[in-house]
């Protein structure tokens, strides 16, 4: 629980972290992070898109960029880990993802995928830690934000979850699940006040 409390202290910095600079982008490209020029352009498109289906297509393109950013070895480790997790072999999946994040520490999908396996196992502390790392590598990672907001809601931190959903909608305005979650929190608060 102590790690979860420490992660909660880092939360404001993660929610409002700026995007990587162009110098950081060059370094990230060499260490497993996606080429930010292409990703930045996709994020600009995602932010402007008003059609939900078109926005989802752009989001999938961003996710592909993130997945492929680590190279063939990292992608293979992730595929094996996803297969193991799908078969509920969580410890095998974690071993593979541990290798991915050690070999490619700036590979955002390694951290995000490991967080998802921790979530499947009900280990919120470790999931929160990995999501924090994913968001430090890519502050616009809407998947990591979604996981983070879900944990915060589940653990009773509605104010923090609300801020994460707002940040996510700033990055991906047409994300319906985030829109619904934000409205649910606001409606619940309004109903509680009445």
DSSP notation for 126-186: HHHHHHHHHHHH-TT-HHHHHHHHHHHHHTT-HHHHHHHHHHHHHH-TT-HHHHHHHHHHH
Pick from 3-7, 26-30, 80-84, 102-106: least confident? 26-30
Spatial neighbors of 103 by CB under 8 A, at least 6 apart, are 73, 74, 77
CA distance 134 to 130: 6
- 57 pLDDT tier (thresholds 50, 70, 90): very high
Q: Long-range contacts made by residues 180-184, C-beta under 8 angstroms, separation at least 24? A: 181/149, 181/153
Pull the structure tokens for residue 170.
């700033």
Give residue 14's pLDDT: 46
- Provide the pLDDT for residue 133: 97
Pick from 161, 170, 147: nearest CA to 189: 161
| Secondary structure of residue 83 in the 3-state scheme | helix
With vertex at residue 100, the alpha carbon angle to CA 62 and CA 6, rounded to the nearest 5 degrees, is 85
H helices, E strands: number in the chain: 11, 0
Q: What is the pTM of this model?
A: 0.80
144-156 per-position pLDDT tens digit? 999 999 999 999 9
Of 67, 65, 54, 64, the C-alpha closest to 173 is 54
| Token pair of 152 as six digits | 């915060």
């Amino acid at each position: 629980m102590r790690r979860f409390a420490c992660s909660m202290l880092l939360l404001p910095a993660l929610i409002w972290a700026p995007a990587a600079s162009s110098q950081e982008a060059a370094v990230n490209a060499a260490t497993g992070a996606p080429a930010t020029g292409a990703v930045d352009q996709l994020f600009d498109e995602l932010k402007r898109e008003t059609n939900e289906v078109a926005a989802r297509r752009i989001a999938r393109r961003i996710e592909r960029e993130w997945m492929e950013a680590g190279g063939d070895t990292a992608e293979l480790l992730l595929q094996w880990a996803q297969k193991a997790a799908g078969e509920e072999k969580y410890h095998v999946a974690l071993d593979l993802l541990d290798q991915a994040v050690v070999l490619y520490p700036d590979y955002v999908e390694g951290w995000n995928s490991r967080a998802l396996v921790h979530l499947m196992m009900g280990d919120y502390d470790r999931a929160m830690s990995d999501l924090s790392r994913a968001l430090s590598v890519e502050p616009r990672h809407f998947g990591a934000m979604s996981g983070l907001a879900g944990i915060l809601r589940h653990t009773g931190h509605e104010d923090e979850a609300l801020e994460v959903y707002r940040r996510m909608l700033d990055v991906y305005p047409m994300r319906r699940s985030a829109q619904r979650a934000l409205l649910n929190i606001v409606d619940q608060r309004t109903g509680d006040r009445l």
